[in-house]
Amino acid sequence: GQQVMQIPQYQHVQEGEDFTTYCNSSTTLSNIQWYKQRPGGHPVFLIQLVKSGEVKKQKRLTFQFGEAKKNSSLHITATQTTDVGTYFCAGSNKYIFGTGTRLKVLA
Amino acid sequence: SAVISQKPSRDICQRGTSLTIQCQVDSQVTMMFWYRQQPGQSLTLIATANQGSEATYESGFVIDKFPISRPNLTFSTLTVSNMSPEDSSIYLCSVVGQPDQPQHFGDGTRLSIL
């Protein structure tokens, strides 16, 4: 079945440093969605990418969808303590979530 | 986005018993899903709740253990049957307004089995 892997599994950064998480699917995705889950909370939708090679920005967050539509990345510039949480990618083919990357930001 | 009410928010149950979790949406949605999330882990899709018909279960999940109902486009229930400590987890309901749109989640049900 479809598998969606994310790396790294964990990342600790100093506040102000950049952060990137990568998402890789075993199958081609029609689109990819990114979610953020704060500790103790539920996943909250961030963005959806649909087109091959698409790049979208939300303030300090940059999302990219690979040309083959099998991988994606999320890059955060100058992390803040409010960025703490687990970031998941998900494909809508089967609504399968990636393994997630847990981000800790040290003040 | 849709407002989702999930009940109960948490429960502590005895092994061998069953618990029904409810998910109510404030608007009609195309798709409703049930996930399980172990502490520190990703979300595992249990099943897609289909309106008026049997749910579609993912590999490793069966109807006898996790019966699901979806009588209309705004409501679904998940029952965790004959619970054991291995069923201790967070159970999440999610909805999708239209196909290929993002999911929106309820607050989850934190379930502990003694």
- Give the CA dihedral B42, B96, B101, A4, nearest 10 degrees: 20
Give the residue from A7, A30, A42 with the most B CB atoms within 10 Å of its CB, the best one to mutate: A42
Nearest-Cα residue of chain A relative to residue B110: A40
Closest CA to A43 of B95, B20, B79, B10: B95
pLDDT, tens digit, 9 for 90 and up, residues B7-41: 999 999 999 999 999 999 999 999 999 999 998 99
Spatial contact of B72 and B4, defined as CB atoms under 8 Å apart: no
Task: Provide the residue range defining the domain that includes A61.
Answer: 4-106
Residue with tokens 């479809």: A2
User: What's chain A's Rg over C-alpha atoms?
Assistant: 13
Give the residue from B3, B43, B93, B94 with the most A CB atoms within 10 Å of its CB, the best one to mutate: B43
The answer to whether A43 contacts B43, with C-beta atoms less than 8 Å apart, is: yes
Closest CA to B104 of B95, B93, B112: B95
Residue A36 CA to residue A23 CA, distance in Å, equals 14
pLDDT, tens digit, 9 for 90 and up, residues A33-55: 999 999 999 999 999 999 999 99
pLDDT, tens digit, 9 for 90 and up, residues A94-107: 788 999 999 999 99
Domains defined along chain B, listed by start: 4-97 (2.60.40.10)
The answer to whether A42 contacts B92, with C-beta atoms less than 8 Å apart, is: yes
Work out the percent of chain B whose per-residue pLDDT is above 70: 100
Closest CA to B11 of B1, B3, B21: B21
Quick one: pLDDT at residue A58?
97
Between chain A and chain B, how many beta carbons pairs sit less than 8 Å apart? Answer: 47
Give the residue from A93, A95, A99 with the most B CB atoms within 10 Å of its CB, the best one to mutate: A95
Spatial contact of A103 and A79, defined as CB atoms under 8 Å apart: yes
The 3-state DSSP class for residue A65 equals: strand
Q: How many domains does chain A have?
A: 1
**Secondary structure tally for chain A: helices H, strands E:** 0, 11
CA distance A61 to chain B (A): 18
- Given a cut of 90, whether residue B52 has pLDDT beyond it is no
Q: Is the peptide bond before B39 cis (omega within 30 degrees of 0)?
A: no
Nearest-Cα residue of chain B relative to residue A3: B44
Quick one: pLDDT at residue A24?
95
CATH number of the domain bearing residue A23: 2.60.40.10
Residue B1 CA to residue B31 CA, distance in Å, equals 14
The answer to whether B106 contacts A42, with C-beta atoms less than 8 Å apart, is: yes
Nearest-Cα residue of chain B relative to residue A37: B42
